[in-house]
């Protein structure tokens, strides 16, 4: 595996695209951007493609400030851009993932750090879930051909690593730590310190106010109704904020949307597995839930809460669902 082998599977005569998942996050963006630069340096002309809205203001700002050229495919002008005979490299995700728009082209390569959920045939596959961030893998590709990363590229990869590893906060990110250190020596640190300075959207403030007003704390668990029609990303951000409350080790945030109630769940303790608890809790309300130990989400259809009147009654029912799930999940584990 390595850059040379990746190059060997690319047909220079056919168009080449690097595809990001939806919505692209900093890790994905860093990988696509640096990989695109590296491929350009050896004579390819890749285009970076994605679908969906990039809503995080710090990500948008980063793209604009660094002049990263991206092509959004779900627009009238671009919807037929990628053709059957074209080639696609997926980064930080895999073909047929639910957050990857299926393109008619040939998926020739995949570089990812997520576990393989669906087996896919690529001409070149580098899937290594032992990495905390895909950006760390891209650093290895640069080393492989002695590609000199610029201070800006190094900063971008560092940002990708920081976001995906939660600032290298867990022991399993040992491999990323060494790469982080190497990148740190060459990175433009000014860029890094400015990222996120404008991270709050004005509309986030009202969501945050509603969420704090509707905050209920019971047994060190924070529950909050964030109001109607909140985007999944806003709920996730809110859950991340609430988990930092003192004495809170588990967070459940939800919003009422057209198709039901959307949930975002966070855990900070080994004893409460967010994914298992979400799965169990929402299934009992005829919904779906799941995720990882520390991060989970779910959707419960409106009918499940139909007989409940008012936000308070819904909140009480949510608390019951979560508490029952906690009991059941802990019994399963014994």
Nearer Cβ to Mn ion (160/260): 160
Q: Which region among 23-31, 54-62, 81-89, 320-328 touches Mn ion (by CB under 5 A)?
A: 23-31
Dihedral angle at the C-alpha atoms of 49, 195, 247, 169, nearest 10 degrees?
Answer: 70
Range 274-283, long-range pairs (CB < 8 A, 24+ positions): 274/250, 276/329, 276/332, 277/250, 277/322, 277/325, 277/326, 277/329, 278/325, 280/325, 280/328, 280/329, 281/321, 281/322, 281/324, 281/325, 282/321
Residue with Cβ nearer Mn ion (134 or 155): 134
With residue 331 as reference, give the H or E element that holds it. helix 310-333
21, 27, 131, 159: which one binds Mn ion (CB under 5 A): 27
DSSP state for residue 23 in the 8-state scheme:
S
Among 92, 126, 176, 237, binds Mn ion (CB under 5 A): 92
The site for Mn ion, by CB under 5 A, has a size of 4
Q: Which stretch binds Mn ion (CB under 5 A): 92-100, 101-109, 200-208, 317-325?
A: 92-100
Contact pattern for Mn ion over residues 163 through 182, marking x by CB under 5 A: -x------------------
Return all residues near 278 (Cβ < 8 A) that are at least 6 apart.
263, 265, 289, 290, 291, 296, 297, 298, 325
In whole angstroms, the minimum distance from the beta carbon of 235 to Mn ion comes to 20
Interface with Mn ion by CB under 5 A: which range of 22-30, 74-82, 168-176, 309-317? 22-30
Q: In whole angstroms, how close is the CB of 199 to Mn ion at the nearest point?
A: 19
Positions touching Mn ion (CB under 5 A) are 27, 92, 134, 164
């Amino acid at each position: 595996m390595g850059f040379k082998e990746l190059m060997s599977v690319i047909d220079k005569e056919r168009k080449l695209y690097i595809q990001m998942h939806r919505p692209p996050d900093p890790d994905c963006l860093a990988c696509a951007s640096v990989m695109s630069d590296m491929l350009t340096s050896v004579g390819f002309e890749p285009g970076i493609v994605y679908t969906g809205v990039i809503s995080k203001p710090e990500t948008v700002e980063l793209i604009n400030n660094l002049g990263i050229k991206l092509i959004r495919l779900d627009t009238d002008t671009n919807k037929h851009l990628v053709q059957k005979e074209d080639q696609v490299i997926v980064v930080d995700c895999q073909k047929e993932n639910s957050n990857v728009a299926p393109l008619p082209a040939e998926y020739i390569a995949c570089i990812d750090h997520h576990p393989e959920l669906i087996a896919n045939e690529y001409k070149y596959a580098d899937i290594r879930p032992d990495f905390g961030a895909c950006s760390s893998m891209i650093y290895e590709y640069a080393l492989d051909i002695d590609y000199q990363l610029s201070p800006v590229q190094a900063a971008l990869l560092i940002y990708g690593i920081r976001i995906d590893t939660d600032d290298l906060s867990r022991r399993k990110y040992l491999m990323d730590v060494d790469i982080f250190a190497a990148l740190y020596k060459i990175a433009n640190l000014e860029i890094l310190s400015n990222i996120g300075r404008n991270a709050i959207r004005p509309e986030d403030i009202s969501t945050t106010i509603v969420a704090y007003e509707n905050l209920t704390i019971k047994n060190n668990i924070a529950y909050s109704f964030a109001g109607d029609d909140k985007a999944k990303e806003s709920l996730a951000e809110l859950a991340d904020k609430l988990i930092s409350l003192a004495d809170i080790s588990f967070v459940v945030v939800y919003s009422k949307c057209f198709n039901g109630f959307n949930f975002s769940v966070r855990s900070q303790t080994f004893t409460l597995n967010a994914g298992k608890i979400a799965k169990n809790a929402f299934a009992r309300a005829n919904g779906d839930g799941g995720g990882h130990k520390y991060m989970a989400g779910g959707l419960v259809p409106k009918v499940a809460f139909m007989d409940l009147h008012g936000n308070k009654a819904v909140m009480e029912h949510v608390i019951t669902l979560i508490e029952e799930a906690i009991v059941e999940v802990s019994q399963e584990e014994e």
